Amino acid sequence: MLRWGPSSVALAQTSLTNRSSGIGSKTNDDLLFNFEKDQEHIFDQLGDQMHRVNPNLTFEFGPKENGHREFVISADGIKEAFPAVEALYAAAPSLPRWKCTKFRPRRKPLDVSYQGVSVPSAQVRVKVDPKGQTANLTVFIPGFAADKNRTYQALSFLLLDGALGEYDVETRVDQISVAAKPNEKEQTYSLEDLPKAFDAALARK
């Protein structure tokens, strides 16, 4: 996914229409679908339009796949901006070549890096501790150092956001802790297996 912030499909077309009075809706769609041809100019305008709605909103464009592209409207993990995401999603026009998605969805785990620390996703384990309608999660990252706790907290959020999706992390996860490794008796899950285990744990409550 290619990620920029901020924008929405509806406001994107408004922005491009204002750019030239002679541009029709089909041309607007073509400009967005092939944004790489004028990326900097187009996204400068999109950013300005979205900031007028909510400064926390971001978006992602997916790659072209069989003549279609996914457009994700995100609150960038900020729960207070969720209503703005919902409103923009509801207002998004129906376009044949686009799949519009609200909130970053669950994705295949990817390696992450932040502030000079890189974490291979395959080495991460997660403990799920259900607490009613939510759960506390402990993310085990090899090499975790307490003096870099803020960095590892940010890395754990990136990993969980990808594995569980933006909406579930903000609404169904209570506390997130980070540690180096679990003890032998703790049941933990890989990021690949986490979504199924997380859903099953909360379904039992």
- Three-state secondary structure readout of 109-120: CCCEEECCEEEC
pTM of the predicted protein model = 0.82
Q: Show the CA angle centred on residue 118, arms to residues 117 and 124, nearest 5°.
A: 115
pLDDT mean over 197-205 = 87
Please indicate whether residue 111 or residue 8 has the higher confidence score (pLDDT): 111
Please list, in sequence order, all residues whose beta carbon lies within 8 angstroms of the beta carbon of residue 84, skipping any fewer than 6 positions away: 53, 54, 56, 57, 75
* pLDDT beyond 60 at 114: yes
pLDDT band at 11 (very low <50, low <70, confident <90, very high): very low
Check pLDDT > 90 for residue 146. yes
Going by pLDDT thresholds of 50, 70 and 90, the confidence category of residue 41 is confident
Q: Which of 111, 13, 101, 1 is nearest to 60 (CA)?
A: 1
How high is the pLDDT of residue 205?
Answer: 53
Q: Which two tokens stand for residue 63?
A: 């790659």
- pLDDT tens for each residue of 158-183: 999 999 999 999 999 999 999 999 98
Check residue 39 and give its pLDDT. 81
Residue 25 pLDDT > 80: no
Distance CA(34)–CA(67), nearest Å, equals 11
Report pLDDT for 92. 81
Indicate the pLDDT class of residue 117, thresholds 50, 70 and 90: very high
H helices of the chain, where? 9-19, 25-33, 39-51, 82-91, 149-164, 166-171, 194-203
Reported as a pLDDT band with limits 50, 70 and 90, residue 153 is: very high
Query: pLDDT band at residue 14, thresholds of 50, 70 and 90?
Result: very low
pLDDT digits (tens, 9 = 90+) for 63-95: 999 999 998 899 999 999 999 999 988 888 788
